[in-house]
Amino acid sequence: MTEKMKVPQIKLIALDMDGTLLNSNGEIPEENRKAIREAKDKGIEVILSTGRSRLTARDHVDSLELNSYLITVNGSEIFGPEGDLIARIPVDSKVMEWMWNLSQTYKTHFWATSCDRVWMNEMPENIHDYEWLKFGFDISDDKVRDMIHQELHSQGNLEITNSSLTNIEVNALGINKAKGIQQVTDILGISMENVMAIGDSLNDIAMIEESGWGIAMGNAQDIVKETANAVTATNDENGVANAIRKWAL
């Protein structure tokens, strides 16, 4: 991690949610809310770019009154300010079935995100009746996680990240938060150079790398800190508020 000499003018702030905007209790600290309002008052666009689905992100989005774009499921879906769907890139249901079978073989916890719900450690009777966006494994055993990683990589057609050290998140190949942000900046007429992205996990690396100013949380995985332009405080120390005030305002 090396901090650039000059921070670009920030016109858009992209925030991850879990481990970043939210504290360890899954709440948005009041200081983060205040800093987001300060940024909006300065005319800076603030968007959430999360691994969550819209269903599980919506309450926080509404509470912030962002009235902005929303990137969900690691970039699989993009919603407009009015809640209209702008883009959706699904995962083939046959691939989802294969990953579910993989989780059964290795006896792991898993979750799967369809367009209308999140399935936790269960799948519908006919997987092929649904449109899917992501599959996730939660694996505490390092050896098992490595073996599943290898099997997933051998497919050659999957985007593989994580949102914690014990999980694996799988999207369609080429889907990431940076691609989602790029689509939003194209609509708004903003350069990626004028984006500040803040995150903590592997699913945030693409947006941190490709934004003009990428920030890792103090609680971020080491590789994320090494990728970022700078590191802020942890998610329990108002790291998002500190970053907004230090580099965007």
Condensed to tens digits (0 to 9), the pLDDT of residues 183-207 reads 999 999 999 999 999 999 999 999 9
- Specify the number of domains making up the chain: 2
Cα–Cα–Cα angle for 33, 38, 42, nearest 5°? 145
pTM: 0.94
**Domain-located, residue 3:** no
Output the domain CATH number for residue 161: 3.30.1240.10
The pLDDT-based confidence of 4 (bands split at 50, 70, 90) is: low
Q: Are residues 142 and 182 in the same domain?
A: no
CA distance 51 to 133: 10
Q: Are residues 97 and 217 in the same domain?
A: no
Q: Are residues 102 and 222 in the same domain?
A: no
Q: Which of 157, 172, 187 finishes a domain?
A: 172
**Digit-coded pLDDT (tens) for 127-178:** 999 999 999 999 999 999 999 999 999 999 999 999 999 999 999 999 999 9
Q: Which of 149, 172, 195 finishes a domain?
A: 172
pLDDT higher than 70, residue 59: yes
**Domain-located, residue 6:** no
Q: Which of 127, 151, 172 finishes a domain?
A: 172
User: What residues make up the domain containing 115?
Assistant: 93-172
The pLDDT-based confidence of 3 (bands split at 50, 70, 90) is: low
Q: Are residues 231 and 182 in the same domain?
A: yes
Q: Are residues 81 and 99 in the same domain?
A: no
CA distance 201 to 184: 21
Q: Are residues 189 and 225 in the same domain?
A: yes
Q: Are residues 66 and 189 in the same domain?
A: yes
Output the domain CATH number for residue 44: 3.40.50.1000
The pair of three-digit structure tokens given for residue 18, joined into one six-digit string? 């879990």
Backbone angles phi, psi at 199, to 5 degrees: -160, -175
**Sign of torsion, CA 187 193 194 196?**
positive
**Domain-located, residue 5:** no
User: What's residue 205's pLDDT?
Assistant: 97
DSSP 8-state class, residue 91 = B
Q: Are residues 136 and 24 in the same domain?
A: no
**Domain-located, residue 4:** no
The fraction of the chain above a pLDDT of 70, given in percent, is 98
**Domain-located, residue 238:** yes
CA distance 223 to 34: 29
Q: Are residues 22 and 134 in the same domain?
A: no
Cite the active site residues: 16
